[in-house]
């Protein structure tokens, strides 16, 4: 007999927990905003412009000494960061004033200096992004995130009802904010890859919510006598095995990517992994329960009016 | 739901077989592929620069220069056209550029109409529907004529300049002998250059970053050397620096001849056997060059590249035959570079590098290794999870998952899509999406079974109800992927490509193919109960 990760016929009262969940969500969101405001994001050259070199040394270099050495070349503020392992260092420099020839000179200077002092170093990657381009990348990235959210809201509105659109977008805003907060907290580099991850989180989290929304709509039609609270509980419980199973599969795949995958996309994978966890949480606890607060009602349902506003009704299903 | 007409079965099988055929070239060594007959598909996945190593550069043209050049050439045109106007030269004064227009004052008001008529003849229509012209000619204050380039005119000039930029860059990179460079125009005024396998982009940048505008101008011998040293040029002259020595020289503003009509340039040797650069004009250029040198025998002239004087030799005699040699302190390498620049033509406007990414080959190789290891592990881990959870149905979804991977590779090979590092991550995510479809179906079947439905009914209802949800979820994901593709840049685009292809193929494999397998099993084994 195949294994069952979630037992049959669960009956967990998610709706009952909703004020707790709302409070936690609010806390997480505000905390993330606070972190973003105080610590800020460690924006990569993609978004602030500048010069990055990924350099692999034969043995782990002493960071303080390296910082001093590169700094003494007169190439501006140096920032160093270990990248994946202690031998690989990411050197960040400001873009030198002037044209591309100046950038080239800086790169050549640093390369020659490091080769002279550390011997067999390999320059794995060099990136330079001008201020103008980085601003465009920020704008395009933000636009992509906002447009996806808007598209999602419109789609769920047309496909379901406006309540679903609102609750989904609220939960998505939470997912994205918490992910951003995580990046503010860890100061992992925030680059274009991470924006791609955020877009994916939106897509995935959405998937989760649509599956549950789909079930809620189905049950609203099926059980016209039932109140909205129990219907939501029933729907979330019915879809729980699927939610857990899919999240587990995703987490498995992403963990493999995080542990074994290339260092360059570590931030990307970390963002995605966190996003999946947060997205699953918000699908189960937040977006569906939010429907009650928004006052979604079973269609063509005379009984609902007699029992008063559905927000006050929280009777158990049985 | 479970009945499959024969044509459907064949279509599904044919699709899968095609997918496999198109995916195969990716797993065959390139040498074997080359020896295959032409009808065998040999297209493979393009690996992005982040995976194979190489240089990416985004160059931006200064579009303001286009307007400036247009104004300069308008001024020149006005001068020559009015001098050669029908019915005798038109006299004018105060010809010059002010703001966005070239203006002049006609000395004799009776010739005003003739002046306007003459100038109007040189304007060209742009955007053939609107009837708009590239330059607007107006009369102000009675006898003052202004020539203003229209926005449409500037746009069309920018467009043709950019087309030329791409062409010139392509010629220059081809000269370097690098393999398969991609050079594409992006937006209004940008060019993206990608050269795989190039580790040290400095040679490439030296070639791309030069405008290579070659001019021959007479040296202004009457200029006061003290004034020149102080930077004051006499009227009609300009002061230019030397390319490889300190000091400046005053030259006439008007070029005797420019490099536009060059047809060839090679590395040669001067009389001492040092490297030098030879050049050759086409027939008309050669005649003009001969005439210009003949008229100025005994005078020094300056050979100018990108507003820097390379050398200023004396014209010893008329240079006939349209070819010549430029000497200087060249090494063979620098002479070769100069020759490449000259024969590939000048860039219409200057280009600046605004974004540059270079990935070394070892990082690329590391990424491929780590990426495939991670993707492989992910597939195996998810496969185990599915089989343990859903038994036989889990095995079906794993088969579908593998077919899905093959299809994605096949489709990407056919359309020539590029696999980037985020693309590999997209592949991993697709595993998730594909599995999700099967999870939805399997969980529905379990639910229906619990409700006491029979085997066939459970499976039918399970597939039917889950399919609706799968469509909802995947159409949303497609929307997000399209937005990513349209508005994203670089890595986001690479990710979106894999994701969109993956969404399409995963619905096909996870829903259709699995349903086919299940229906075959149900009809042949006729199980009494489902172990799911």
Q: Is A216 on the interface with B (CB under 8 A)?
A: no
* Cβ atoms < 10 Å from Cβ of B151: 10
Q: Closest to B367 (Cβ–Cβ): which among A101, A128, A262?
A: A262
Q: B409: helix, coil or strand? A: helix
- Grouping H, G, I as helix, E, B as strand and the rest as coil, residue B130 is coil
pLDDT-derived band at B297, boundaries 50, 70, 90? confident
Question: For A146-167, b where at least 16 C-beta lie within 10 A, e where not — what string?
Answer: ebbbebbbebbbebbbebbbbb
| Each residue's pLDDT tens digit, A233-274 | 999 998 998 899 989 988 988 898 889 888 878 888 898 899
Check if A42 contacts B (Cβ < 8 Å).
no
Bridge partners (DSSP) of residue B300 are B314
CB atoms within 10 A of CB B316: 9
Both A98 and A114 in one domain: the answer is yes
Same domain, A302 and A198: yes
* 3-state secondary structure (DSSP) of residue A209: helix
pLDDT in tens, B249-259: 888 888 888 88
Using a CB–CB cutoff of 8 Å, tell me whether A268 touches chain B: yes
Average pLDDT over residues B71-85: 83
**CATH number of the domain that residue A211 is part of:** 1.20.1640.10
Q: Is A126 on the interface with B (CB under 8 A)?
A: yes
On chain B, the residues whose CB falls within 8 A of the CB of A6 are none
- Which residues does chain A have with pLDDT short of 50? 300-318
What is this model's ipTM?
0.80
Q: What residues in A contact B429, CB-CB < 8 Å? A: 200, 204, 250, 253, 272
Range of the domain at A81: 50-129
A154 touches chain B (CB under 8 A): no
CB contact under 8 A, A137 and B356: no
Closest by alpha carbon to A225, among A301, A306, A314, A310? A301
Picking from A270, A203, A212, A280, the residue whose alpha carbon sits closest to that of residue A249 is A280
Strands A50-56 and A122-129: antiparallel
Q: State the average pLDDT over residues B297-315.
A: 85
Determine the Cα–Cα distance for residues B137 and B479; give it in Å rounded to an integer: 49
Q: Please tell me which of the candidates A4, A248, A256 has its beta carbon nearest to residue B378.
A: A256
| B265 band by pLDDT with thresholds 50, 70 and 90 | confident
| Residues A140 and A274 reside in one and the same domain | yes
Closest by Cβ to B367, choosing from A104, A248, A264: A264
Query: Inter-chain contact B479–A99, Cβ cutoff 8 Å?
Result: no
Residue B37 has pLDDT above 90, yes or no: no
Q: Taking CB atoms and an 8 Å cutoff, what residues of chain B touch A257?
A: 374-375, 378, 425, 428
How far is Cα B428 from Cα B379, in angstroms, rounded to an integer?
Answer: 8
Return the CA Rg of chain B.
34
Stretch among B223-227, B248-252, B441-445 having the lowest mean pLDDT: B223-227
**DSSP per-residue string spanning B358-408:** EE-HHHHHHHHHHHHHHHHHHHHHHHHHHHHHHHHHHHHHHHHHHHHHHHH
Task: Say yes or no: A257 and A111 in one domain.
Answer: no
Asked whether B371 and B421 are in contact (CB, 8 A), the reply is yes
Q: Which residue of A136, A150, A252 is the best one to mutate when testing the B interface, meaning the one whose CB has the most B CBs within 10 A? A: A252
**Within the 53-112 window of chain A, which residues sit less than 8 Å (CB to CB) from chain B?**
54, 56, 99-101, 103-104, 108
**Shared-domain flag, residues A164 and A178:** yes
Both tokens of A162, joined, read: 């406006």
Chain mean pLDDT for chain B: 84
Look at residue B178 in the predicted model and tell me its pLDDT: 67
Confidence at residue A305, expressed as pLDDT on a 0 to 100 scale: 41
How close A46 gets to chain B, by Cα (Å)?
Answer: 9
Q: Which of A106, A129, A152 is the last residue of a domain?
A: A129
Do A229 and A92 fall into the same domain?
no
Whether residue B21 is predicted with pLDDT greater than 80 in this model: the reply is yes
Top-level class of domain B63-155? alpha beta
Calculated CA dihedral for residues B374, B378, B380, B384, nearest 10 degrees: 150
Equal CATH topology for B63-155 and B209-356: yes
- pTM of the predicted protein model: 0.76
Measured torsion, CA atoms of residues B229, B231, B235, B241, in degrees rounded to the nearest 10: 80
Q: A56 and A37 in one domain?
A: no
A288 near A236, Cβ under 8 Å?
yes
**Would residue A7 count as lying in a domain?**
no
Q: In a mutagenesis test of the A interface, which of B48, B208, B436 is the best target, namely the one with the most A β-carbons within 10 Å?
A: B436
pLDDT of residue A1: 53
Instruction: Report helix angle A192-222 to A131-159, nearest 10.
Output: 10
**Inter-chain residue contact A264 with B495, CB threshold 8 Å:** no
% of chain B surpassing 70 pLDDT: 98
Considering the domain boundaries, does residue A59 fall inside one?
Answer: yes
Domain stop point among A129, A145, A165: A129
Of the candidates B458, B466, B504, the one whose C-alpha atom is nearest the C-alpha of residue B482 is B504
The residue whose two tokens read 């063509």 is: A300
Binary contact (B374, A261; C-beta < 8 A): yes
Cβ contact B428–A257 (<8 Å):
yes
Using the predicted structure, report yes or no on whether residue B315 has a pLDDT greater than 80. Answer: yes
Contact A253 B429 (CB under 8 A): yes
Q: Does A251 touch chain B (CB under 8 A)?
A: no
Contacts of B531 in chain A (CB under 8 A): 1-2
Q: Which residues of A touch B385 (CB under 8 A)?
A: 248-249, 252
| Interface residue A277 vs chain B (CB under 8 A) | no
Q: Are residues A123 and A144 in the same domain?
A: no
> Using a CB-CB distance cutoff of 8 angstroms, which residues of chain A are in contact with residue B390?
2
pLDDT for the residue numbered A185: 93
Q: Whole-angstrom Cα distance, residue B490 to residue A248?
A: 30
3-state secondary structure chain A: CCCCCCCCCCCCCCHHHHHHHHHHHHHHHHHHHHHHHHCCCEECHHHHCEEEEEEECCCCCCHHHHHHHHHCCCCCCCEEEEECEEEEEEEEECCCCCCHHHHHHHHHHHHHHHHHHHCCCEEEEEEEECHHHHHHHHHHHHHHHHHHHHHHHHHHHHHCCHHHHHHHHHHHHHHHHHHHHHHHHHCCEECHHHHHHHHHHHHHHHHHHHHHHHHHHHHHHHCCCCCHHHHHHHHHHHHHHHHHHHHHHHHHHHHHHHHHCCHHHHHHHHHHHHHHHHHHHHHHHHHHHHHHHHCCCCCCCHHHHHCCCHHHCCCCCC
CA distance A95 to chain B (A): 11
Q: Does A249 touch chain B (CB under 8 A)?
A: yes
CA distance to A232, A235, B346, B445, per residue, from A214 (Å): 11, 9, 62, 17
Distances (CA, A) of B48 to A98, A161, A266, B361, B423: 30, 42, 18, 12, 9
Contact check, Cβ <8 Å, B483/A126: no
Nearest to B483 among A136, A147, A215 (CB): A147
Cβ-Cβ contacts under 8 Å, A207 against chain B:
433, 436, 473, 476-477
Q: Are strands B418-419 and B46-47 parallel, antiparallel or unpaired?
A: parallel
Do both A207 and A258 map to the same domain?
yes
The model's confidence at residue B42, banded by pLDDT at 50, 70 and 90, is confident
* Side-chain-facing half-sphere of A258: CA atoms under 13 Å: 14
Q: Considering CB atoms only, which of B363, B378, B439 is closest to A242? A: B439
* pLDDT exceeds cutoff 90 at B395: yes
Judged by CB atoms closer than 8 Å, whether chains meet at A241 and B367 is answered as: no
Number of domains in chain A: 2
- Which CATH number, 3.90.1150.10, 1.20.1640.10, 2.60.120.260, 1.10.540.10, labels domain B6-53+360-525? 1.20.1640.10
Contact of A123 with chain B, judged by CB distance below 8 Å, is answered with yes
In a domain, A4, yes or no: no
A73 shares its domain with A25: no
Q: A161 and A93, same structural domain?
A: no
pLDDT in tens, B495-529: 888 888 999 999 999 899 999 999 989 888 888 77
Tell me which of A102, A129, A156 is where a domain ends. Answer: A129
Distance CA A97, CA A103 (A): 8
Is some CB atom of chain B closer than 8 A to the CB atom of A127? yes
Return the CATH class of domain B209-356.
alpha beta
Tell me whether residues A252 and B440 touch, CB distance under 8 A.
no
Alpha carbon of B215 to those of B247, B260, B299: distances in Å? 19, 9, 16
User: Does the beta-carbon distance from A252 to B382 stay under 8 Å?
Assistant: yes
Minimum CA–CA partner of B492 in chain A: A196
Identify the bridge partners of residue A82 per DSSP, sorted by sequence position.
Answer: A89
Q: State the nearest Cα–Cα gap between B504 and chain A, in angstroms.
A: 15
Task: Please work out, in degrees rounded to the nearest 5, the angle formed at the alpha carbon of residue B363 by the alpha carbons of B362 and B364.
Answer: 90
Contacts of B461 in chain A (CB under 8 A): none
Q: Are residues A180 and A139 in the same domain?
A: yes
Q: Which of A150, A199, A269 to mutate to test the interface with B (most CBs of B within 10 A)?
A: A199
CATH number of the domain at A67, please. 3.30.70.3400
Nearest residue of chain B to residue A107 (CA atoms): B202
Q: Give B357 to chain A, closest Cα distance, Å.
A: 4
Q: Indicate the helix (H) or strand (E) that contains B309.
A: strand B308-311
Task: Tell if the CB–CB gap between A200 and B375 is shorter than 8 Å.
Answer: no
CB B131 within 8 A of CB B123: no
Nearest neighbour of B443 by CB, restricted to A241, A259, A261: A241
Residue A2 lies inside a defined structural domain of this protein = no
Flag whether A25 is in a domain: yes
Instruction: Check A246 against B436: CB less than 8 A apart.
Output: yes
**Does residue A298 sit in helix, strand or coil?**
coil
Contact state of A100 with B353 under an 8 Å Cβ cutoff? yes
pLDDT at A307: 42
pLDDT of the residue at B2:
66
Q: How far is B296 from chain A (nearest CA, A)?
A: 38
Parse chain B into domains and list their residue ranges.
6-53+360-525, 63-155, 209-356
CA distance B170 to B188: 18
């Amino acid at each position: 007999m195949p294994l069952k990760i979630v037992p049959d016929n669960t009956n967990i009262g998610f709706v009952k927990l909703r004020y707790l969940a709302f409070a936690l969500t609010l806390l997480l969101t505000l905390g993330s905003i606070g972190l973003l405001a105080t610590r800020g994001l460690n924006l990569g050259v993609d978004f602030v412009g500048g010069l990055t070199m990924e350099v692999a040394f034969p043995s782990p270099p002493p960071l303080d000494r390296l910082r001093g050495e590169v700094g003494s070349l007169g190439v501006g503020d140096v920032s160093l960061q270990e990248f994946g392992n202690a031998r690989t260092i990411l050197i960040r420099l400001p873009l030198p004033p002037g044209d591309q020839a100046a950038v080239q000179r800086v790169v050549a200077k640093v390369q020659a200096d490091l080769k002279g002092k550390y011997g067999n170093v390999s320059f794995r990657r060099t990136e330079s992004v001008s201020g103008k381009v980085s601003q465009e990348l920020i704008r395009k990235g933000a636009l992509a995130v906002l447009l996806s959210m808007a598209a999602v809201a419109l789609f769920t509105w047309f496909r379901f009802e406006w309540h679903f659109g609102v609750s989904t977008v609220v939960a998505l805003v939470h997912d994205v904010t918490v992910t951003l907060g995580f990046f503010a907290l860890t100061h992992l580099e925030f680059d274009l890859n991470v924006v791609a991850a955020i877009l994916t989180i939106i897509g995935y989290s959405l998937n989760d919510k649509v599956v549950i929304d789909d079930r809620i709509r189905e049950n609203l039609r099926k059980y016209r006598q039932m109140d909205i609270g129990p219907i939501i509980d029933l729907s979330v419980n019915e879809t729980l095995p699927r939610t857990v199973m899919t999240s587990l599969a995703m987490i498995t795949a992403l963990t493999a990517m995080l542990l074994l995958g290339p260092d360059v996309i570590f931030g990307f994978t970390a963002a995605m992994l966190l996003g999946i966890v947060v997205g699953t949480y918000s699908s189960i606890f937040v977006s569906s329960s939010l429907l009650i607060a928004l006052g979604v009602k079973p269609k063509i349902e005379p009984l609902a009016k007699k029992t008063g506003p559905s927000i006050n009704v929280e009777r158990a299903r049985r | 739901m479970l009945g499959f007409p024969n044509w459907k079965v064949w279509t599904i099988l044919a699709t899968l077989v095609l997918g496999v055929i198109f995916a195969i070239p990716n797993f065959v060594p390139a040498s074997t592929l080359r020896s295959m007959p032409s009808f065998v598909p040999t297209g493979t996945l393009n690996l992005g620069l982040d995976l194979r190593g190489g240089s990416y550069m985004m160059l931006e043209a200064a579009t303001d220069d286009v307007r400036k050049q247009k104004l300069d050439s308008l001024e020149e045109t006005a001068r020559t056209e009015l001098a050669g106007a029908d019915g005798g030269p038109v006299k004018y004064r105060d010809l010059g550029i002010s703001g966005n227009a070239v203006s002049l004052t006609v000395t004799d008001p009776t010739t005003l109409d003739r002046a306007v008529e003459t100038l109007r003849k040189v304007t060209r229509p742009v955007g053939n529907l609107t009837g708009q012209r590239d330059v607007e000619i107006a009369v102000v204050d009675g006898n003052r004529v202004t020539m203003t380039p229209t926005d449409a005119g500037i746009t069309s000039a920018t467009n043709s300049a950019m087309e030329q930029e791409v062409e010139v860059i392509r010629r220059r990179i081809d000269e370097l002998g690098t393999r398969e460079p991609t050079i594409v125009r992006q937006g209004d005024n940008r060019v993206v250059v990608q050269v795989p396998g190039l580790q040290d982009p400095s040679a490439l940048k030296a070639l791309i970053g030069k405008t290579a505008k070659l001019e021959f101008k007479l040296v202004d011998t009457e200029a006061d050397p003290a004034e020149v040293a102080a930077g004051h040029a006499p009227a009609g002259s300009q002061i230019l620096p030397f390319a490889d020595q300190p000091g400046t020289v005053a030259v006439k503003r008007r070029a005797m001849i420019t490099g536009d009509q060059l047809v060839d340039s090679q590395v040669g040797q001067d009389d001492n056997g040092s490297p030098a650069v030879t050049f050759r004009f086409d027939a008309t250029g050669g005649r003009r060059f001969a005439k210009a040198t003949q008229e100025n025998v005994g005078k020094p002239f300056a050979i100018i590249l990108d507003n820097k004087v390379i050398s200023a030799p004396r014209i010893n005699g008329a240079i006939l035959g349209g070819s010549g040699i430029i000497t200087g302190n060249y090494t063979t390498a620098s002479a070769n570079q100069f020759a490449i620049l000259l024969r590939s033509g000048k860039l219409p406007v200057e280009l600046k590098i605004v974004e540059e990414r270079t990935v070394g080959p070892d990082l690329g190789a590391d990424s491929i290794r780590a990426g495939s290891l991670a993707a492989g592990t992910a597939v195996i881990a998810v496969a185990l999870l599915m089989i343990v959870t859903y038994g036989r149905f889990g095995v079906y979804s794993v088969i579908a998952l593998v077919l899905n991977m093959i299809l994605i590779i096949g489709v990407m090979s056919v359309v020539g899509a590029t696999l980037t590092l985020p693309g590999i991550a997209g592949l991993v995510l697709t595993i998730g999406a594909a599995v999700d479809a099967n999870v939805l179906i399997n969980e529905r079947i379990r639910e229906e079974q619990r409700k006491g439905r029979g085997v066939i009914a459970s499976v039918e209802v399970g597939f039917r109800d889950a399919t609706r949800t799968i469509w909802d979820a995947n159409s949303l994901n497609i929307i997000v992927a399209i937005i990513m593709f349209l508005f994203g840049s670089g890595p986001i685009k690479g990710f979106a490509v894999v994701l969109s292809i993956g969404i399409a193929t995963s619905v096909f494999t996870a829903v259709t193919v699995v349903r086919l397998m299940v229906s075959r099993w149900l009809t042949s084994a006729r199980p009494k109960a489902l172990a799911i």
